[in-house]
Amino acid sequence: MKAGSNLEKLLRAGEFVATGEIGPPKSCDANVITHAGEMLRNHADAFNLTDNQTAIVRMSSIAAGKILTDMGIDPIIQMTCRDRNRIGLQSDALGAAALGIKNVLCLSGDHQRFGNHPMAKNVWDMDAITLIQTLDGLRKGYFQNGEEIKKCEPPKFFIGCAANPFADPFEFRVTRLEKKVDAGADFVQTQCILDMERFERWMELVRERGLHERCFITAGLMPIKSAKGARYMQKNVAGMMVSDEICERLEKAEDVKAEGVQLVVDQINYIRKNIKGVAGVHIMAVAWEEIIPTIIEKAGLAPRPKVS
Amino acid sequence: MIIANGKPIEEVLKSLEGHKKVAVLGCRGCVTVCLAGGEKEVGILASQIRMAREQAGQPVEVLEGTVERQCDYEYFEQVKDIIEEADAIVSIACGVGVQGVAETFPEKVVYPGLNTMFMGANLNVGVWAERCQGCGNCVLEISGGVCPVARCSKSLMNGPCGGSQNGKCEISKDVDCGWQLIYDRLSKIGRVDSLRNIIPPKDWSTSRDGGPRKLVREDLQLESGK
Ligand code: SF4
Ligand code: SF4
């Protein structure tokens, strides 16, 4: 056991996990987090708190994570390398650990060009891979510069990372995951799967290299509300792939929202039945968090298992 | 070379408001090659200034001069006279040249006439692209001769990130993904396996992050006897 978070315990117990995502508000309104926490508690095992996602200023993921921790809910705080250098990242990681946060998901971060402060200076002193390595070093008792952490137990982290089977070059995508696992990643959340065939091919390569045995892979899923939205993502969002099949299914649907939910439910069933090496699902219901309980229920994943 | 581009004429005119006699100073180095600040551009900018001020009913006398290189201060000797005569200088060299004027003529007002953009290559007629950020610790040997610092939008050392698709960077369909280029090059020279290794965080202390940089070559100093 690396950190003993709810997520880690369930994964190590062999449970098929379900995680969700809560976007911190563009304000200091703590109620947004407590409200989401109350609504979603017990419907998923842990919740991502995004770190200024798409480079839009929001409440810090660590602060939001602390609010959830106080509610007895397991947070997964995201940390990107866009806004902080190795000094800031390590400092914040130590702070998160001091506040009782255990799961940290390391990301390179979206470029600020599409955010709400496109004139900002960016950092990228480190990248996702070296951030993982740095957190792994911290939990082994060393700072990035090799200095020892003294007078205190090292922080405990359950380290997560992202993997994007839909980006290019395809063959490199598994190598990249392998690098992240080598660096110390314990669990993985994939980019949302809207092209199951490609995900399956990627998983095949993952299994060939035995990576599913070296880390926990959770499949990223996203309920879509509108057919237009699906087409937009298909054409315009870098690093995403949306199959025509999915677009058409939504276009034909009478009740698109219901179809979007059913689609995710079908995906969960399909993955559990057919794809070996997937340890759980990560549901990214962006601005539609309230749908998570329905999805979990319909996919037969309720009630969520308890561990002590 | 250093690539620069002319500032909008309105901006130049704004800075010259109130001046009666100005000197436009070009450079025969990089900015001549990238057609932004050579003798020809000095002539063009000088007439633009004259015409605009004439039309505005505030005529100005504009002197013209171009030196070998504004980054080698001894060349300013050639244009000393017009600089002394003018009450403001517009340097259309790169930022180094503008500062050269300021350092050499501490009592003179100097304005930049160009925006200095990057170190890059001339790819086509009228097209220049960034190739190096002068990080002071070149890593081109591991990246197949394609610079990750200058050509990846995030200067990542372990790319390509998850935003790379169809060879393009997540920031724009008009920007090549630097790491896709690195990947392709390493594939061609049979070294793609090296991407399997984790490249540690870069030492940025040799870059701008370490503070203003200076190079002193003692070997050359000894040789010249200075
Ligand atoms: S690695 Fe540094 S020195 Fe080499 S090309 Fe890139 S920025 Fe320039
Ligand atoms: S898409 Fe490519 S160039 Fe753009 S940030 Fe990612 S790795 Fe760098």
Q: What is the ipTM of this complex?
A: 0.95
Chain B residue nearest residue A145, CA to CA: B201
pTM across the whole model: 0.96
Please determine, for residue B27, whether its predicted confidence score (pLDDT) is greater than 90.
Answer: yes
Give the Å distances, CA to CA, from B159 to A110, A173, B151.
14, 10, 11
Q: Say if residue A169 is preceded by a cis peptide, omega within 30 of 0.
A: yes
- Domain membership of residue A306 (yes or no) is no
Nearest CA to ligand 1 atom 3: B138
Q: Are strands B88-91 and B21-27 parallel, antiparallel or unpaired?
A: parallel
Residues A113, B200: C-beta atoms closer than 8 Å: no
Task: Give the total number of structural domains in chain A.
Answer: 1
Strand pairing class (B21-27; B127-132) = unpaired
Distance from CA of A181 to the nearest CA of B (A): 11
Average pLDDT for residues A2-17, to the nearest whole number? 98
What's the CATH number where A28 sits? 3.20.20.220
Beta carbons of A41 and A289 less than 8 angstroms apart = no
Four-CA torsion A187, A129, A49, B172, nearest 10 degrees: -120
Distance B104 CA to ligand 1 centre (A): 31
pLDDT tens digits for B123-176? Answer: 999 999 999 999 999 999 999 999 999 999 999 999 999 999 999 999 999 999
Contacts of B169 in chain A (CB under 8 A): 238
Q: Tell me which DSSP letter residue A30 carries.
A: H
Task: Find, among A256, A252, A282, the residue nearest to A267 by Cα.
Answer: A282
**Model pLDDT, residue B64:** 98
Query: Chain B residues with CB inside 8 Å of A178's CB?
Result: 196
Q: How confident is the model at residue B180 (pLDDT cuts 50, 70, 90)?
A: very high
Ligand 2, residues at Cβ distance < 6 Å: B 152-154, 156, 159-161, 163-164, 169-170, 177-179
Q: Check if B193 contacts A (Cβ < 8 Å).
A: no
> pLDDT-derived band of residue B224, with 50, 70 and 90 as boundaries?
confident
pLDDT at B215: 97
Task: Establish if A247 belongs to a structural domain.
Answer: yes
Q: What is the rounded average pLDDT of the residues A146-174?
A: 97
Q: Which two tokens stand for residue B220?
A: 């050359």
The domain defined by B2-118 folds into: Rossmann fold (3.40.50)
Is the Cβ of B166 closer than 8 Å to some Cβ of chain A? Answer: yes
Q: What pLDDT score was predicted for residue B223?
A: 86
Structural domain boundaries enclosing A54: 6-298
The reply to whether A307 falls in a domain is no
pLDDT given for residue A275 in this prediction: 98
Measured by CA distance, the residue closest to atom 6 of ligand 2 is B161
With H, G, I as helix, E, B as strand and everything else as coil, classify residue B53.
helix
Average pLDDT over every residue of A64-75: 98
pLDDT at res. A308? 78
DSSP secondary-structure letter at A288? Answer: -
Order of strands across the sheet that contains B110-112: B61-67, B21-27, B88-91, B110-112
Report residue B226's pLDDT band, with 50, 70 and 90 as the boundaries.
low
Long-range contacts from A239-244, C-beta under 8 angstroms, 24+ separation: A239/A164, A239/A166, A239/A167, A239/A191, A239/B162, A239/B163, A239/B164, A239/B165, A239/B170, A240/A166, A240/A191, A240/A192, A240/A194, A241/A166, A241/A194, A241/A195, A241/A198, A242/A194, A242/A195, A243/A194, A243/A195, A243/A196, A243/A197
If phi > 0 it is left, if psi is from -120 to 50 it is alpha, else beta; for residue A253 that is beta
What is the arithmetic mean of pLDDT over B189-201?
Answer: 97
Question: What's the CA gap between B87 and A80, in Å, rounded?
Answer: 51
Q: E strand or H helix at A245, and its extent? A: helix A244-252
Give which of A258, A146, A260, A123 is closest to A192, Cα–Cα.
A260
pLDDT class of A237 with cuts at 50, 70, 90: very high
CB contact under 8 A, B180 and A168: yes
pLDDT band of residue B225 (cuts 50, 70, 90) is confident
Better pLDDT: A287 or B15 = B15
* Cα B141 to ligand 1 centre (Å): 10
Q: Quick check: B176 contacting A, CB < 8 Å?
A: no
From the CB of B207, is ligand 1 less than 6 Å away?
no
* Amino acid, res. B215: L
Closest approach of A112 to chain B, Cα-based (Å): 9
| Dihedral angle sign, alpha carbons of residues A101, A157, A191, A250 | negative
Domain positions in chain B are 2-118, 134-193
The two three-digit tokens of residue B191, written as one number: 């070294």
Contact A107, A128 (CB under 8 A): yes
Render A130-194 in DSSP notation, one character per residue. HHHHHHHHHHTTB-TTSPBP-SSPPP--EEEEEE-TTSSSHHHHHHHHHHHHHHT--EEEESP-B
| Mean pLDDT score, B111-134 | 98
Which residue type sits at A39?
M
> How distant, in Å, are the alpha carbons of B32, B39, B96, B101, B173 from that of B75?
16, 15, 14, 10, 44
pLDDT digits (tens, 9 = 90+) for A266-304: 999 999 999 999 999 999 998 899 999 999 999 999 999
- Average of per-residue pLDDT values in chain A: 97
Q: How far apart are CA A56 and CA A286, in angstroms?
A: 14
Who among B153, B171, B183 is closest to A169 (CB)?
B183
Position A303 in a domain: no
Average pLDDT for A97-108: 98
